[in-house]
Structure 1
Amino acid sequence: MKRLRLCSIVGVFVMVMALIVGCGTSTVSVADVTYKDMPLQIQNDANVTALNKATITSTITGPVVYAVKVGDVVTQGQLLATIDTSALQQQLASLQGQLSQAQVDVPAVVTQSAPTVDSAQLERARQMREAGNITEKEYNRILERAQPQVVTSGGGGANTALIASLEVQIAQVQAQMAAATITAPMDGVVTAIYNEDRQMAIAERPLMLIQQNTPMVASLSIPRDAAMKLAEPAAKPTIKVSLHVNNTDIPGELTCVDTNQPDNVPSVLVKATFNNDNNAIKAGEFYSLTIASEARAQMLVVPADAVRESPDGKFVYVLTENSTVDVRVVETGEAQDGVVAIMNGLNEGEKVITTKGTFELGETVKVA
């Protein structure tokens, strides 16, 4: 009887513990991330830059005073910045003083050295010339060596190498001083000033970025199969591109599809070009880019119920191999027949949670 009672107590304890362990664990439904043939309709935020731009690099280091600020419209040749040349001016004055000193004439010292060929050797050379054993030119060389050698040392010639070196250094410093005045290489807009907070120019480092107003280029990475379909000649007549700016859709043209990427790269960069004569598009900003075509492409899809929205954008809950929840930010494309195309953020074979509700990162769940 006691043994039966003990078994009953143990059984109740196991049941209670099971209930405690299972308490709070959500049961969820999941779906696989798979490929499906979808309409080629892409709409995502794209970074916009100027087609023509110039990065201005300083050739000297020093404090800098900027004559423009980010957002200013500039014209070719306009003053952009001036770099302090105080240190260079001191260096130049020092070099010029050294050059003046080196150019002071020093009296020359003339000496003679003994001949290296004696009279007997010269006579033998003469006989050999007459016999045709040596040429007249060779004989004249021997004759020169039979004469005393005059050697000049000192004087202005002694400092020739030093003078040449100083002149080269002076030219380099003057070139650096000339480079301290920074002007615009083209018409455009100042879109970046580097080290502006430090007011310092650093040699061989970018100082400023200027971009032209038009044309503008929007860049976006899209699924590989979609990009390859857009690159096909047959698709070109049906492609429509637009950029949404200030509640207006500006038409553009698809000008680049990076088809040189390896087959295992899931996303491919595409670029669209837009006319910006009215200056509505601002370089460096993000705008909604739409690319549409009559073509269809294989794209990753998930059920529409799996995609959630927050103030920061769209996301999905992913079930990990450990039955915990991962939160993944995604970019979506066209929706059709209850599924949504995924442009970025997921991989084939992953599992997304379709159950409604909110889940915490790292939360343990079980599949229904």
Structure 2
Amino acid sequence: MDSARSAILITYPEPESIEEATALADAAGYKVWKIVTQKNITRSRFGIGHGKALEVQEIVRISNPDIIIFDEVLKPSQQYNIASLCRIEVMDRERLILDIFERRAITKESTIQVKLAELRYETIRIRDKVRLAKLGEQPGFFGLGKYDADIYSLDISKRISYLKKKLEKEKIKREMHRLHREKSGLPTVSIAGYTSAGKTTLFNRLTGETKRTGEGMFTTLSTYTRSFKINRNMKFLLSDTIGFINKLPPYMIDAFRSTLNEMTYSDLTLLVIDGSDSLNVIDKKIQSSTKVMNDLMIPLTKILYLFNKADQIEDHDLFVKTLTKSQVFDPLSCHFLLISSKTGYNIGRLENFLRLRFNPQ
């Protein structure tokens, strides 16, 4: 076995599900040693079928991994059952994402937001976890000891209230920065989109910055704003924002709302999608991203869809034709552009779009 934290990953059989779940595990610091797939997850007492659970138990016995990761949300009872069967720690998808957030948080605001999301994750599970922790066989299984559910719930409520107050102070600071930017009179543009689509690479390409890229999912958790010029005389403010992901729960979006709200004040949002994916995956990612945009009430007229990684697409004309078959994206009613943040392909056309958008003379 590798010295790194090893994991058995339980996910859906679709290639895109396996790829995304593996990337999430990697971003959280786990090396996936074995992948087990199941068409329906979370419908049984083990989160997977009884036969599949016994299969996982045998894999654990032979390979002795550090953890089992489920690519789905588990009830505390399901988590307890599979963990008791396999005698090993079990983590679900939401806890995995929170672990990544915790590793990526570098600003005071993002650290508070992550802690708030973690407490809301716990809030949903309090009573079941306390009940299971008192079963006797493994009373400290969830690290709760003999806590009473009401006491534990009150403690979490107090901590949430405290963090909300701290977050409000950070929100005031953010608002002051935003007002200062508004006074500059410069057009504001936000970069948004599915995580790992190349948003930060695009940000670096346009601004000349050297923000870290290629380090897995959710490299950016807090808004980062810099200015950039087109043709040496037209100046913009550009913000890199947190990435979206499939099945991101409402409480996580709510915890990061002050960061996401930066887009609502932008004059334009560049919604970056990985164009090298299959049409089916592109549809899913557009759907996930557009849902967040709709929740933030950002109109279609303020969105430019950028299909990135054109350097990995063999036939660009065929790609555009394929887009017309999309179930969730209508090329005729949306502004879109095929680009490559890596090679600079069509970046000139993007800059020209921005120039005409904000200075049409």
**Does TM, scored on the shorter chain, surpass 0.5?**
no
Highest Rg: 1 or 2? 1
Give the TM-score taking structure 1 as reference length.
Answer: 0.21
Give the TM-score taking structure 2 as reference length.
Answer: 0.21
| Structure with more of its chain in strand, by fraction | 1
